[in-house]
């Protein structure tokens, strides 16, 4: 019995030693010791070599705890911290020093760049964001048409914390196509690819009065290396998104002199074939394969069902072709290969790429760009014809 007790005590001792020596609780952190960051924004400071950091932190005490306590309107549910500094980390530590809680970056929902900073170049600030272990690489990025600070400190009618709103907004857009959500890793990959031009969604606040402002997306900011050089409009953005394929739910508006229809894209896939014809000429063939349902129909009163479907097919094909072509033309005007054709050549024709890479921009502008579309309408909803057509038949 004595022996057993001794053995057991040795065992206990060993267990304790394992637990206490293998590691310790140095990285233990209590929720209450931290400020939860919900959004961060970077603007150009007055001195162009410095940045103006805006951090949006959730104000836990003002969060609605339960539904039966109506929140009083004037309480701010977030707090804004600002710092001006030449590096991000320096600014953050400045904020940390002057605060009773540390900042926690894990739940950062969005990172915003002011348009001035984007035009000035963002590369040198990305280093910290990549290095920092706390930050997730999945956080979406966006350029603000204006100052990032304004967007972070605005109180939106639907969601009081704009960081959370923007986070879920891009999450929602990513359901349509994942290319709407530009994560740090996507952005960096594009920068590192020779020849490719990074893009980033661009958003702005509407010019309404205080408390009624809303966030709208105005297109895609196009970068050359790390400097913003221009912008795609919303329609051009749509073409860009379609050209990348994998679009799930989206609307397509077609119209001609007979009538107007909104088609729901159920599934749109796009195969691209990039073939260098010679050292100076590249041919790109996109074949778009799309499945639609009819969402809304106005007009087309003179057509029979079969005709109508065929007609809509034709319209949709043309529309898709035109939209993608427009996006390409916009990219051509900016001399920015936002589609990443260069990557395809780099991967499949590395030898030709060696000859092309020095003057890729010239080749890109001169690309032979063809779009083929194949469209099928899988359903017409509960109605086959429009109501106007039904009436006419009778």
Partner 1 sequence: MISLILRWKFNERICSLLFFKIIIRKLRFFFKSSEINKESENETPTDLNEQATVIKTNLDENLTNLRSALGESNDLKVHSIRFGNKNEFSGAIVFIDGLVDNFIMTNAILSPLKNWTDNSRVSSNTDLINILEQEVLCASDATVVHSIPELAMGCLSGDTILIVDGYIDGLMLSTKGWEKRSVSEPQTETVVRGPREGFTENLRTNTSLIRRKIRNGQLHVEQMVIGRKTQTNICLMYLNGVANPKIVNTVKERISKLDVESILETGYIEEYIDDAPYSPFATIGYTEKPDVVAAGILEGRVAILVDGTPFVLTAPMVFVESFQTAEDYYSRALYASLLRIIRYIAFIITIFAPAIYIALNSFHLELIPTTLLFTVAKAREGTPFPVFIEALIMIFAFEILREAGVRLPQPVGQAISIVGALIMGDAAINAGIVGAPMVITIAFTAVSGFLVPKQNESASILRVIMMIPASIIGLYGVGIGALGILIHLASLESFGVPYFDCFDRPADMQDTIMRMPLWMKTKRPRHIAKGDTTRGNFFIPPIRPHANNDNEGEP
Q: Which residues bind partner 1 (CB under 8 A)?
A: 7-8, 10-11, 13-14, 17-25, 27-32, 34, 36, 38, 58, 60-61, 63, 65, 104, 106-107, 109, 134, 136, 164, 167
Nearer to partner 1, 110 or 199 (CB): 110
* CB of residue 148 to partner 1, shortest distance in Å: 20
* 334 Cβ contact partners less than 8 Å away, ≥ 6 residues apart: 197, 222, 224, 229, 230
Q: Of the candidates 124, 206, 139, which has an alpha carbon nearest to the alpha carbon of residue 170?
A: 139
Q: Of the candidates 294, 261, 299, 309, which has an alpha carbon nearest to the alpha carbon of residue 391?
A: 299
* DSSP code for 196: B
* CB of residue 125 to partner 1, shortest distance in Å: 22
* CB of residue 176 to partner 1, shortest distance in Å: 22
* CB of residue 329 to partner 1, shortest distance in Å: 40
Nearer to partner 1, 1 or 192 (CB): 1
CB atoms within 10 A of CB 24: 9
Nearer to partner 1, 16 or 365 (CB): 16
* CB of residue 75 to partner 1, shortest distance in Å: 13
Tokens of residue 152, six digits: 């972070």
* 90 Cβ contact partners less than 8 Å away, ≥ 6 residues apart: none
CB atoms within 10 A of CB 37: 23
Nearer to partner 1, 19 or 329 (CB): 19
Question: Rounded to a whole number, what is the distance in angstroms from the first to the last CA of the chain?
Answer: 101
Q: DSSP strand E in 233-281: where?
A: 250-255, 259-276
Nearer to partner 1, 173 or 309 (CB): 173
* CB of residue 15 to partner 1, shortest distance in Å: 8
CB atoms within 10 A of CB 199: 26
Neighbour-count burial of 81, counting CB atoms closer than 10 A to its CB (0-12 exposed, 13-18 middle, 19+ buried): buried
Nearer to partner 1, 38 or 40 (CB): 38
* CB of residue 203 to partner 1, shortest distance in Å: 20
Contact 113, 125 (CB under 8 A): no
Nearer to partner 1, 65 or 305 (CB): 65
């Amino acid at each position: 019995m004595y022996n057993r007790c001794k053995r057991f005590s040795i065992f206990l001792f060993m267990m304790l030693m394992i637990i206490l020596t293998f590691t310790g609780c140095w990285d233990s952190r209590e929720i209450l010791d931290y400020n939860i960051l919900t959004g961060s924004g970077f603007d150009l400071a007055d001195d162009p070599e410095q940045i103006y950091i805006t951090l949006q932190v959730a104000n836990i005490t003002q969060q609605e705890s339960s539904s039966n306590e109506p929140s009083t309107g004037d309480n701010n549910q977030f707090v804004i911290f600002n710092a001006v500094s030449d590096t991000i980390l320096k600014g953050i530590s400045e904020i940390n020093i002057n605060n009773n809680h540390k900042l926690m970056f894990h739940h950062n929902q969005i990172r915003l760049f002011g348009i001035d900073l984007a035009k000035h170049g963002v590369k040198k600030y990305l280093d910290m964001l990549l290095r920092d272990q706390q930050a997730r690489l999945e956080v979406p990025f966006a350029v603000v048409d204006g100052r990032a600070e304004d967007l972070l400190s605005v109180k939106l009618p639907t969601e009081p914390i704009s960081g959370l709103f923007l986070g879920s907004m891009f999450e929602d857009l990513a359901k349509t196509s994942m290319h709407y959500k530009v994560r740090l890793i996507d952005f960096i990959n594009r920068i590192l690819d020779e020849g490719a031009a990074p893009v980033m969604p661009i958003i702005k606040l509407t010019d309404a009065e205080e408390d009624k402002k809303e966030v709208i997306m105005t297109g895609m900011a196009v970068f050359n290396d790390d400097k913003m050089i221009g912008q795609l409009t919303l329609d051009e953005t749509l073409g860009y998104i379609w050209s990348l394929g994998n679009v799930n739910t989206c609307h397509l508006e077609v119209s001609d002199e007979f009538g107007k229809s909104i088609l729901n894209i159920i599934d749109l896939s796009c195969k691209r074939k990039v073939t260098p014809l010679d050292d100076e000429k590249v041919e790109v063939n996109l074949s778009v394969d799309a499945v639609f349902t009819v969402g809304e129909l106005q007009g087309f009163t003179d057509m029979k069902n079969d005709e109508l479907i065929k007609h809509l097919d034709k319209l949709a094909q043309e529309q898709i072709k035109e939209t993608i072509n427009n996006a390409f033309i916009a990219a051509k005007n900016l001399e920015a290969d936002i589609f990443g054709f260069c990557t395809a050549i780099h991967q499949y024709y590395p030898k030709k790429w060696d000859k092309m890479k020095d003057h890729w921009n010239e080749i890109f502008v001169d690309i032979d760009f063809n779009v083929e579309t194949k469209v099928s309408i899988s359903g017409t909803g509960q109605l086959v014809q429009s109501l106007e057509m039904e009436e006419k038949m009778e």
